[in-house]
A and B are shown apart, each in its own frame.
Chain A
Amino acid sequence: MKDLMRIKCLISEEIETLLNQQIKKEAHSSSLYLSMSSWCDQNGFDFSADYFLKQSEEERIHQLKLFKYVLDMGGNAISPEVSNIKTDFAGFREVFEDALEAEIAITQSFKNIAAKCHKEQDFVTMEFLNWFLKEQREEEYKARRALELFDVIGEEGTGRWEIDKHVNKITYSEQ
């Protein structure tokens, strides 16, 4: 008997479902960052607004990368519905706390997919995921560093203005 399902698609049904869930999570993150950018802009934190706008674009690129992979492997990529995006934040610090929390959730999600790939011995998808796992190092570092600025600089006086100026300069280097 021909292995028709495997002929049609490289990835298993379970991996396809997990990747589609990840596409949705990336879309959610992209919208959340856009919402953060809007809040920052309205509250006078222009550099942070730019920072979150860039982050939003990055998440969108991640989403499309996953989307293309599912399709290229013969799967069914699902365009996600995004809802319940937080639009109001209690303060400047909370925006960055939420950003770090979102990145931690994304990292955890990728770890779960990687664990499933190992279990199924799907090393093709695992190799594809390596790029995202590496990317999460940078994403979490940047989110954590931004939050660190609140402790290093302090929010008193012109503190928030200083933090805002420095947020956009955060870069990550492996060396």
Chain B
Amino acid sequence: MERACININELINVFSNNQGTIYQSDKLNCFYIDFGGKFARFNCLALQKLKNAVESIDIEALLLNTHKADFELVTFNGCEHIYLLSALEIIALKDLLQGTFTMFKLNHMISDCLHRLVY
């Protein structure tokens, strides 16, 4: 639904892995996560919260617990989206988010060098 309203050419691919992609919209100052067949919009704070939520999942415990299905609901308070993910998908989403935040840091360094620092 959300994908239909967005011109994909206006989005910047921040980071991709073989399971999904995270885009940034400079026009709307937000991010889009294309993952697990879902295309969802997040603002800065929500993206950080999602990353924290995914990183706090104990994947080892999830796999070793025989009384529970190997699925986990990923969401947080105030989040408009909800993900039901398997252990492998959690690993992939974690990788996607960590890669994205590394790209943010890289972009920050480049922005500093090119635009902010005057030598």
**A5 touching B12 by the CB < 8 A rule?**
no
Q: A1: which of B44, B45, B107 is its contact (CB, 8 Å)?
A: B107
Question: Is A6 part of the binding interface, using a Cβ–Cβ cutoff of 8 Å?
Answer: yes
**A1 touching B101 by the CB < 8 A rule?**
no
Q: A7: which B residues are within 8 A, CB to CB?
A: 29
Question: Is B104 part of the binding interface, using a Cβ–Cβ cutoff of 8 Å?
Answer: yes
Question: Is A151 part of the binding interface, using a Cβ–Cβ cutoff of 8 Å?
Answer: no
Interface residues of B in 93-116 (CB under 8 A from A): 101, 104, 107-108, 111
Q: A2: which B residues are within 8 A, CB to CB?
A: 24, 26, 29
Q: A13: which of B24, B31, B48, B107 is its contact (CB, 8 Å)?
A: B48
Q: CA separation between A76 and B45, bound complex, in Å?
A: 8
Question: Interface residues of A: mostly helix, strand, loop or mixed?
Answer: helix
**A76 touching B48 by the CB < 8 A rule?**
yes
Given A3-B107, A3-B108, A8 and B44 touching (CB < 8 A)? Answer: yes
**A13 touching B101 by the CB < 8 A rule?**
yes
Question: Is A4 part of the binding interface, using a Cβ–Cβ cutoff of 8 Å?
Answer: yes
Most B CB within 10 A of own CB, among A6, A7, A9: A6
Question: Interface residues of B: mostly helix, strand, loop or mixed?
Answer: helix
Q: CA separation between A9 and B101, bound complex, in Å?
A: 14
Q: B101: which A residues are within 8 A, CB to CB?
A: 5, 13
**B26 touching A5 by the CB < 8 A rule?**
no
CB distance from A24 to the nearest CB of B (A): 16
**B45 touching A6 by the CB < 8 A rule?**
no
CB distance from A80 to the nearest CB of B (A): 16
Q: A1: which B residues are within 8 A, CB to CB?
A: 12, 14, 24, 26, 107
A 45-81 to B, binary, CB cutoff 8 A, 1 in contact else 0: 0000000000000000000000000000000100000
Q: A1-B26, A5-B44 are in contact. List 16 more A-B contacts (CB 8 A).
A: A1-B12, A1-B14, A1-B107, A3-B104, A3-B107, A3-B108, A3-B111, A4-B31, A4-B44, A4-B104, A5-B108, A6-B111, A7-B29, A9-B44, A76-B45, A76-B48
Chosen A-B contacts, 30 in total, with CB atoms closer than 8 Å, are: A1-B12, A1-B14, A1-B24, A1-B26, A1-B107, A2-B24, A2-B26, A3-B104, A3-B107, A3-B108, A3-B111, A4-B24, A4-B29, A4-B31, A4-B44, A4-B104, A5-B44, A5-B101, A5-B104, A5-B108, A6-B108, A6-B111, A7-B29, A8-B44, A8-B45, A9-B44, A13-B48, A13-B101, A76-B45, A76-B48
In the A-B complex, the 7 residue pairs with the closest CB atoms: A3-B111, A8-B44, A2-B26, A5-B104, A1-B12, A6-B108, A3-B108
